[in-house]
Every structure is written in C-alpha cells, then in structure tokens.
A and B are shown apart, each in its own frame.
Chain A
C-alpha cells in the first residue's frame, strides 16, 4: 500500500461545469506521490462550522508532470457548497491517496459506467486502461444532457455512450436500458460507480453474464484511514471498511 500523505494543495482552478458540478484543479507543493485509479482523498472543509468532518472525494485525474490532481464535485450539501466557493491561490488540505484501487486489465475490451458524481473516478481509470492498451467503452447516465460534464475529456480515452431520462442525449432511459447491456458478453470487465441502486442493477446484469464487475462505494466516512470503523459495508467475509478495504469491491464479494 502507498504511504498516505497530508498536504496543503494550492487551488489553481475552480471551474463551474454546470449548475451543481465543479472541477477543482489542485497543485501539490512538491512532487506528487503515486496515485492509483479509484483512490480518494479526505478533504478538509475550512471555515465551515457545520461541517466538522473531512469530505471523501475521488481523485478524478492526476498529472505527474505538473504535480496536479483534480476533483470533480457535485454540490450536495454544506461541505461541497463551501468547496465550490474556493478561489485560485486558496489552500486545500488533503489526506491522500486513500483506499484500494480498480484492478486494471491489459489489452481487453472493458465497459466503464457511471452516473451522477459517480463518474468522477472513471476518468483517471479510463486513462490508465487506455495506457494499458484496453478497448475502453464509457457509458454515462444522467437525467438530462446538461448533467453530463467533461465529455470532451472522457472522449480522449474511450468510446462514449449516454443515456438520459429525457432523451436529450444518447439513448432514452436508465443506464441498464442502454443497448450495450443487450450484448454485455463482449466485455471482459465492467467498472461502475454512482448511486447505489444503479450500481446494483449493473452488478446484477454483469453477474447474469458472468462478467467480473468492480464497484466504487461511497459510504459516509469519519476518518478515511481505517481507524474508526464507521464506513463498513457487508461482505461475504464480514464487515469491511470502505476506506481501506475499498472503495473498490468486486461485486461477487458484496452482500448485494
């Protein structure tokens, strides 16, 4: 496991992507340590009396050359709202990199699916898989087209598909209604993150087609480093901490 760090990053950019999603580009003051796809950071929200605990956020992308990483954040409540107000040159304290990571394949056809802020960890993952020669297919789901952000960036690393509930982009309906799911067996692995019900539906179809499926869970956390045992999920071998044994799990191990 990588050494964990605690560091004040400098905000380089806070880009509003739509009504409630924004991207933070953060610069590490020194050399950025190695980060794997699927890992996350515990972010300190300062000057925010009602948010006492850090907020867990996936690492969206990493740039070792410039020592930057980015976070893709959806405004949900008080903490994420406060983070959306950050300005360039502000500091942001992160504990990172935390958790395990997605298992990567070489030269295989893979499907990445996500919805909501669940798409955050998929970018770095798609890049890593792309580097490993995989044929990467990315299916993003949303209520409406304007919910889908960072399109152009995802496009660099794989073939994109969409579902929207209002038929404004891609196919109409929910994620598992997409035609890709009619012929799942062409994929060697499925990676998914997003709302739990969506992930469960994807996992069920993957299991029916006997395709390994990895999910990234978003349980609420207190410490993020395995010390408090607050973030557990039930697995076939007992309660496991999402922050150290996850956030990535093979769905066959979960009690879903």
Chain B
C-alpha cells in the first residue's frame, strides 16, 4: 500500500485531496454521489460575520475551458453556520476546514474566535483573496502590509492550523507568501480566482452583473502551477495547490511542483465524483511507479 498521508501544520490528512471553498457547498450536496469521508478534507463555503446576499444575477459566465464567477460570498453568516450547518456536517469523519472572509480585521477576528470553539474544525483557511467583494477580500491579499497585518492579528488568537489563501492577482506572489509565513501562517493555499471579464458584442453588455469576476477552471492551471512552483522555492511551510485541477494527472503535477496537498474546485461541477477519482488516480500512479509515499514524490521536479 502506498502512503498518502500528509500533514498541514497540526492537521493530518489521510490523503492530499481536498475540495475547494465555494465549489463543494458544505459537502452535503455531494452525499448522493460520493463518500465524502474518503477525502483528505473539505473546505466549506466562504463564511463571514454577518449574512451576505452576494451579488446580483447573473453571477456566472462560461469561458473557454473555464468560468467566471461573481457570487460575492453569499452565505448566512457564522452564527447560522454554527447553529444550522455545523451540527449537520459533524457526521463526517474527514477534516472540516472553514474558509473565512471579512471586510475588516475585526470581522475576521470575531469569526475566527467563534470557529476556535468548534471541536470538529481543526483548521481555517483565511480568504484574503476574494475578487468579488467591494471592500476587504482581495484587498487584504494584494499588499504585503495588509496581508501581514491580518495574518498577525488572526495568528495571535487562533491556535489551531491557520491556512492563508493567496490571490494570484499580484505582481509577485512569493512576497505575499513569505510575509504570511513570517507572521505565523501554518500553510498557504493558492490560487484563488484570477480577475477576469466577459462581454457580449450582441448586447454590448458585460455578462456579469459586477462587470468583472473570478476566473477558474482548467484555463488557469498553468498560472496556478507556476505560482505553486515559485512559492515552493520561496517558503518552508506546506503549500496547498489549486487552480484548474480536473483529474489525477493535474493533481500530481501540482504535487510534483511542490504542493503538499491539492484542492479540487470547478471540476466538481463537471463531475461530482471527480475528487474521489483523483484520489484513486494518485494511488494508481504511485503504485505503478513504485513510489512508496506521496511525500517522496512531492517537489521532485527534475530540472536538468
């Protein structure tokens, strides 16, 4: 048997495959299709202090090999999560990670403090990279000083595993990664969506109500892979790679470039069983190449 276990901070994953925030609901939406407990972990929907209605419809536009979204963090708020969702997802034995968003540091801290009390949530993913909200969101993730400030503030109160999710909409992602590492993040996940746009020459209107939105899917994979590789060469903390992973081959490419774990996002919409197929595919690859463990394979890219 190959060893698929990986560690992210204090977090132990039975395999490196997780599902990305905003693309997997609370896991419950996928119960009809897969055994969610076979996953390494699930990252639940972006959660904010107050309930948010999100942006107006249309919030989605298909693009070649991908899609733009402008959901805008629609969620019912942290208190609703605690009273209504948390009891339902406690049935899962897989690792449950909450993606946290906010428009100011106080909001982030209040949410994080509430999550700290929940036994079954061993980690949070700090979303400082959402391109679809007016204030906060990506603004925290696109300058080193604000990324440092928010990471430091959260680290000072949150003792469990802290993952910071990085924005690709920056000139140099390694600078941001180094900054959040220095402020005590246990891991970084990358990438969130790329800021994009789609219009119609028929109506002369944008396809999204917000004009711009976040691009995801296979069209972003080369960028995500490049960023994972750059960050792998810049920090010591584990990297969770994502962006356009559609199959086991893609997932292995991220791990080859240094990712300790990966997340499956938009691919869940095309095939709700894909995350499990990816775990199987990774296992088969390691077995047929006589590699004993996934950590042995990690970052083993041959340059010359």
Contact = CB atoms under 8 A, between A and B. Distances in A.
Given A52-B63, A220-B60, A230-B59, A5 B32 contact: yes
Interface of A: 3-6, 44, 49-54, 95, 219-234, 238-239
A36 to B, nearest CB: 16
A52 B270 contact: yes
Contacts, number: 88
The 8 closest A-B pairs by CB, nearest first: A230-B60, A227-B25, A223-B269, A4-B32, A227-B29, A222-B269, A226-B29, A229-B71
B62 A232 contact: no
A95 B71 contact: no
Contact of B269 (A227, A233, A234): A227
A49 B64 contact: yes
A228 B69 contact: yes
Interface in B52-77: 53-54, 56-67, 69, 71, 74
A50 B198 CA distance: 14
B272 interface: yes
A94 B64 CA distance: 22
A222 B64 contact: no
A50 B64 contact: yes
Contact of B272 (A6, A49, A221): A6
Interface string B60-102: 1111111101010010000000000000000000000000000
B64 A225 contact: no
B33 interface: yes
A215 to B, nearest CB: 15
Main secondary structure of the interface of B (DSSP, over half): loop
A222 B57 CA distance: 13
A53 B272 CA distance: 12
B32 A227 contact: no
Contacts of B65: 49, 52
A254 B25 CA distance: 24
B269 A54 contact: yes
Nearest to A233: B57
Interface string B256-274: 0000000000101111110
Nearest to A50: B64
Given A6-B33, A229-B74, A54 B270 contact: yes
B241 interface: no
B280 to A, nearest CB: 16
Nearest to B57: A232
A9 to B, nearest CB: 16
B217 A229 contact: no
